[in-house]
Structure 1
Amino acid sequence: MKSRIVKPLILEACIQKQDELIDNFKKREAEMNDDTFSQNESPSQSEDRRAGKYELLKAIGDELAFAQKELVYLNSLDVTTESTHVGPGAVVVTEQFIFFIGVSSERVEVDGATVFGISTKAPIYANMRGLEKGNKFQFNETNYVIEDVY
């Protein structure tokens, strides 16, 4: 069995990754905002190119708001208690991967191990929710055995 990674370190890495995502969205939003509301010059002065920019700016704003909401959720997770079943805040160790139940995120490196953030809305979570150490589940034709939950 893989050695346990300290849960607060996993949460800290996930929060850092979420902060980076939020910063990137803020930068993109600021750039798009400047571009959208700058001089509206086009080859044909009768052609307005702002409409598509407004839509893109709104989409980036929506993504930013979602990322900020997920950060609030991450900060609300209690990782000080030991989990015995798969649920929010749990670390799930399988023979293939280590999952942290919180929000979907790119992989994070913690103590030399790769951890994948899984949202409670993710399809894979539906297949593992409530399971315990020793249970099996399947997702995308891959079979998993839960080696540890904590």
Structure 2
Amino acid sequence: MTTETDKNALKAHMLHACIDKQQALIDDFKTRIHALLENEGLGNEEEYDNTERSYLQQRMDELNGIEEGLTFANSEMEQLQKMEANSIATYADAAPGAVVVTNLGTFFIAVSTERFEVDDQTFIGISAKSPLFFSMRGKKAGEKFSYHGITYAIRDVF
């Protein structure tokens, strides 16, 4: 059986893994923005035509999309950093900051991430704004919830 100390240590490792993944995402967005800005110029004004204008508009649209992604990633990083200050909190039910262990996987309710590994275990980070979270919100160990026709049995929440 896992002790509260073990669970808190695992949750702290999970949080740091999410922070590392989020920082890598932020760094990637910044690199892409830098590359776009570095590689673009207006060129020779005499040769500037509608084709080039269209191309530059596409690049600006791409840049705006990347900047929106960066803004969102930074917002999620702020959420993770706030959670870090309260990482030893324990939870009896599925809530933001909790780890929810089910028969079909273990979820860390923080921010949406791809699957990640900590201590040879696989976890999935989900946002507290996600439909999956809304299906499990408030549920405790021993309860079940359904999402997209799949039933999950909650084994533990911490």
State if a TM-score over 0.5 links the two structures.
yes
Match of 2:49 in 1: 46
Query: Which has a greater percent of helix?
Result: 2
Say whether 1:71 aligns with 2:77.
yes
Match of 1:121 in 2: 129
Q: Which amino acid in the other structure matches residue 46 of structure 1?
A: D
Matches of 1:51 and 1:119, distance apart in 2: 33
CA contact under 8 A between 1:103 and 1:118: conserved in structure 2? yes
Match of 2:143 in 1: 135
SS of equivalent residue, structure 1 residue 105: coil
Q: Which amino acid in the other structure matches residue 74 of structure 2?
A: Q
1:40 Cα deviation from its structure 2 partner: 3.3
Q: Deviations over 1:55-74 (max 9, x none)?
A: 11111001001101100001
Q: Which stretches in structure 1 are left out of the alignment for 5+ residues? A: none
SS of equivalent residue, structure 2 residue 64: helix
Q: Which stretches in structure 2 are left out of the alignment for 5+ residues? A: none
Say whether 1:25 aligns with 2:33.
no
RMSD: 1.8
1:53 Cα deviation from its structure 2 partner: 1.0
Match of 1:145 in 2: 153
CA contact under 8 A between 1:92 and 1:100: conserved in structure 2? yes
Say whether 1:61 aligns with 2:67.
yes
Match of 1:111 in 2: 119
1:45 Cα deviation from its structure 2 partner: 4.0
Q: Which amino acid in the other structure matches residue 7 of structure 1?
A: K
CA contact under 8 A between 1:40 and 1:50: conserved in structure 2? no
Structure-2-length-normalised TM-score: 0.87
Say whether 1:35 aligns with 2:39.
yes
CA contact under 8 A between 1:8 and 1:79: conserved in structure 2? yes
CA contact under 8 A between 2:42 and 2:48: conserved in structure 1? no
